[in-house]
Chain A
Amino acid sequence: MAILPDDIKAAMQGVIPSHVVTCSHDGTPNASAISQVYYVDADHVALSHQFFNKTKRNLEENPRAMAWVISPETFEAWDLELEFVRSETSGPIFDIMEMQIEAIASMVGMKGIFKLRAADVFRVTAVSKAVGERIPLAEIPRAR
């Protein structure tokens, strides 16, 4: 369906870290920084799974997520609505992401420690330019 515009690619190189928001079964949201949202094709992105964290746990309970990516050239931001498809531990997408992680890891003495466990592939169900909206502080619901 080609949902992702071409100019979003620059925002998917991890120059400015992206953020991903997931939600647990009981509705508790979690936002987390992620080093890269990888452009797979015009309808799919992949997120690197490196640690067992809340994002990963939430996705097991609830396969929907939102990602926020920013172009380092124009500082344009996009919101992506995502639906988890599958977790890949081999194949071209995994290889490309894993190679990059290994290259960087080897440069900081982290080879074999910092590695890609899986490439989590998502279908992009909606994409919009994130304009941002000020929310008065008092109205933000407090997390319990």
Chain B
Amino acid sequence: MSADPSDTSGLREQIAENQQAIDRLNRDLARKSNEVRIIQQISSEITSTLDLDEVLGIILRAMDHVLAFAHSMILLKDVADNVLRVAATRGYAEQGAGAQVRLGEGVIGVVGERRRMMRIGNIGASMRYLKTVRARMESSGEVGPAEAPAVLPGLTDVQSQLALPLTVKDRLVGVLAVESRTPNAFDELDEVLLRIVGNQAATAIDNARTYQIVEQLGRLKRFFSPQLADLIIRGGADDPLKTHRREVTVVFLDLRGFTAFAETSEPEEVMGVLHEYHGEMGRLILAHEGTLERFTGDGMMIFFNDPLPMPDAAERAVRMAVAMRDRAAELAVRWHRKGYELDLGIGIAKGFATIGAIGFEGRWDYGAIGTVTNLAARLCGEAKPGQILISPRLLPEVENLLEVEEMGLLAVKGLARPVKPLNVLRLRDPA
């Protein structure tokens, strides 16, 4: 046989090329069917719950088990701030929850700011390069010394990151990120897969978050004004139902003669008086931005400096008390005419209290616990009709506003030494 050997090799090459093309097509097909499987699996799991933590857990588990991304995290955008907060992680020694990234900072922050996916596989090399450029520019005086680099959550010595913005109707919900210490760890296929998961994740997270907010809002609106409840939800104020300790100014008021009046009057009369009294006092509480902690029949407890910090808490408390006394005096004229012997007494004290949700499942209340509430209640109990008794600790902050008179020593349960309260005579005319 004298066949031309180059013919055979040409044929072999052709066969090999064809085989490569077939392999490529098979790989593509396998990939496509894998994508479909992933979509089905993840979407059925994700939509099975409205619990935010569960949703985040499902997403990250899928990243690990289905897509083989070992290190992943979800950051959620704070509604009020331009900050992404780590909400869930998988594949890290430390949980890292609560760590935050400012929009525009690092790979994740830039992805959040631009709302565009980013894949980068040369973080180490790029940073070394930039540090060298930076050093050169510093030594030539082109730029000043470097500001401290941001501390970013995630792997130390990270080389590759793939980060996807989670958006719902153009609104940024958060960022889903995977990372690796291996350079070039992610390719275009990973982008495709992450995008598939990301679209569903964004919607599921948003739904769970909305549900959480509606629940929380309902809870908060029982205790706070709608504006304040909104502010808390949007992150402008800390959740006051979480236990915390804060210095507050506490105002106690009740009606002298109310118990006797309630026992001797018709229920309609009692409720009518209470309704009028609560309505008028409530209006003044709102006007001075006080927090109504509770009603007990004719008694009310209001405090200032929580949940919203107020530098002028003492002043607000005293001004509110004086306004209440004036308004109650007007109401009392009518009450006396009807034969009701009702007069307002008020006590105000300042001090630290433990504040938060008190109660049990199904019946939670927002409450403050501390000697300061006892003292305010005791001062209120001691006040004669029309008196506003304040604890001496309040005086330095309000003495320019008020004319006061000193009262006799008063023993208070829980306090080692008796206090010497002051009675508020009147507000000083503004000079």
Binding site for B on A (CB under 8 A): 9-10, 13-17, 35-36, 72-73, 95-96, 99-100, 102-111, 113-114
Contacts and interface: CB of A to CB of B under 8 A. Distances in A.
Given A106-B106, A107-B150, A113-B137, A72 B127 contact: no
A17 B118 contact: no
Given A15-B121, A15-B184, A109-B147, 13 more contacts: A9-B187, A13-B122, A14-B126, A99-B118, A100-B126, A102-B104, A104-B126, A106-B104, A107-B152, A108-B149, A109-B149, A110-B134, A114-B130
Contacts of B127: 104, 107-108
Contacts of B149: 107-109
Contacts of A102: 104, 110
A85 B125 CA distance: 28
B11 interface: no
27 contacts: A9-B187, A14-B122, A14-B125, A15-B122, A15-B183, A16-B125, A35-B125, A35-B129, A96-B116, A99-B110, A99-B114, A103-B106, A103-B107, A103-B109, A105-B130, A106-B105, A106-B109, A107-B106, A107-B149, A108-B127, A108-B130, A109-B146, A109-B149, A110-B130, A110-B146, A113-B143, A114-B134
Contacts, number: 90
A83 to B, nearest CB: 26
B123 interface: yes
Interface in B156-189: 183-184, 187-188
A10 B106 contact: no
A102 B126 CA distance: 11
Interface string B133-155: 11001000001001111101000
B131 interface: yes
Contacts of A106: 104-106, 109-110, 150
Given A107-B152, A109-B149, A95 B106 contact: no
A103 B130 CA distance: 11
Contacts of B104: 102, 106, 111
A36 B122 contact: yes
Nearest to B121: A13
A100 B120 contact: yes
B133 to A, nearest CB: 6
B125 A17 contact: yes
Contacts of B143: 110, 113
A106 B131 CA distance: 11
A111 B188 CA distance: 27
Contacts of B107: 103
A111 B104 CA distance: 9
Contacts of B121: 13-15
A6 to B, nearest CB: 9
Q: Which 7 A-B pairs have the closest CB atoms?
A: A109-B146, A14-B122, A13-B121, A103-B110, A109-B147, A15-B183, A103-B107
Contacts of A104: 120, 123, 126-127, 130
A113 B107 CA distance: 17
A95 B116 contact: yes
Contacts of B134: 108-110, 114
Interface string B268-300: 000000000000000000000000000000000
B110 A10 contact: no
Contacts of B148: 109
Nearest to A92: B116
Given A104-B123, A108-B149, A17 B129 contact: yes
Contacts of A16: 125
B269 to A, nearest CB: 69
Contacts of A108: 127, 130-131, 134, 146, 149
A18 to B, nearest CB: 11
B372 to A, nearest CB: 46
